[in-house]
Amino acid sequence: MTGQTVSSVFPAGDPVRPQEASDQAVEVPDLGLGGTPRQHRLGSRLSSPVAADDRIGALARCSLNQATIKHASLAEAVAVTAAAGYGAIGLWRDRVQETGAAQAGRIVAEAGLRVSTLCRGGFLTAADPAGVQAALADNELAIAEAATVGARELVFVVGGLPAISEPGGPARPDASGADRDLGAARQRVADRLADLVPVAQAHGVRIALEPMHPLFTADRGVIATLAQALDLAAPFPASAVGVVVDTYHVWWDPELEASIARAGREDRLASYQICDWILPLAADSLHSRGQVGDGYVDFATVTRWVAATGYAGDIETEIFNEAIWADDPTVTAATVAARYLSHVHPHLS
């Protein structure tokens, strides 16, 4: 089986309508994206404990991942993010490639933003020589793109089992026992990291391993816990390989507090990504992410654990959700900021 591409656009899925609320209004500017200025009803559950005069400072570490406003171009996403007062943006490779990495970096810098992460590299589990070479070539390109746009952290989704026909699809009819061997797949991830770490170091980029919820072990990520990600990172310098705490993927883990503390001790906490676990799951469970506060994640507790490590990096909201994608990007940016201020920012210190 050949290697999976890591720069394709996000796959489609059934919509999940986020919880609605309607008692506080925030003016959303017209940024020329096809919408008009309007009052966005944020609701009492979104009301921020941060005074208006302090809002910009409070959002200094807040980052909006492009996936959350998927249908905006890179330039549009940067404009929305900057206008909403964020300090950073998380970029995706498909949009970077549409724009050109050098131009993308200039657009972000001229807007006064940081690039919190570039998503994504990885998909390292191919067993056949052609798949291995394709994965290495694509990840070397991803590392170069990260350096060019100014992203210190390159998020790696390590890939699923070679038995898959496609992400979210059935196993291949011709899949062998070896194609289902989790241990062997994890070993190939370790082997490919050893190949790629020197490239990342030469570019000043850190590979940030993202454990995936066990729902996605078969098709997207054969590492499911933060501890597994840390074990994979352990042979390499902390400046070269770190880990991502993404609440959607790790909120359930009974060892999460200890693993976050370990990540802090080992100086490997590369990114804190947030969104909520909502039910019912969408037909494509990848698109079951919700706005912070709409689901089951205890953001106060997880954020305190992250803050206790001394983590001072960006906090990036990354949501895959058809209903949110269909909304005006300026509305989404305003909602994300308000949820961050209500549910995350108060627990950072």
* Distance (Å, whole) CA 297 – CA 213: 13
Residue spans per domain, the chain:
29-347
Residue 174 has pLDDT above 80, yes or no: yes
Of residues 12 and 57, more confidence is placed in 57
Average pLDDT over residues 159-172: 93
Mean pLDDT of the chain: 87
Q: What is the pLDDT of residue 261?
A: 98
pLDDT (tens digit, 9 = 90+) per residue, 40-52? 323 223 334 444 4
Report, at the CATH architecture level, how domain 29-347 is classified.
Answer: Alpha-Beta Barrel (3.20)
- Considering Cα of 17, then 19, then 24, then 29, what sign does the dihedral take? negative
Burial class (CB in 10 A: 0-12, 13-18, 19+), 129: exposed
173: Cβ–Cβ under 8 A, 6 or more apart, which residues?
none
Q: Which stretches of 51-205 are assigned E, i.e. beta strand?
A: 62-65, 88-92, 114-122, 153-157
pLDDT (tens digit, 9 = 90+) per residue, 306-330? 999 999 999 999 999 999 999 999 9
Q: What is the pLDDT of residue 56?
A: 59
Average pLDDT over residues 284-289: 90
Average pLDDT over residues 5-16: 30
Q: What is the pLDDT of residue 122?
A: 97
Element (H, E) at 39: strand 38-41
pLDDT (tens digit, 9 = 90+) per residue, 190-236? 999 999 999 999 999 999 999 999 999 999 999 999 999 999 999 99
Residue 78 has pLDDT above 50, yes or no: yes
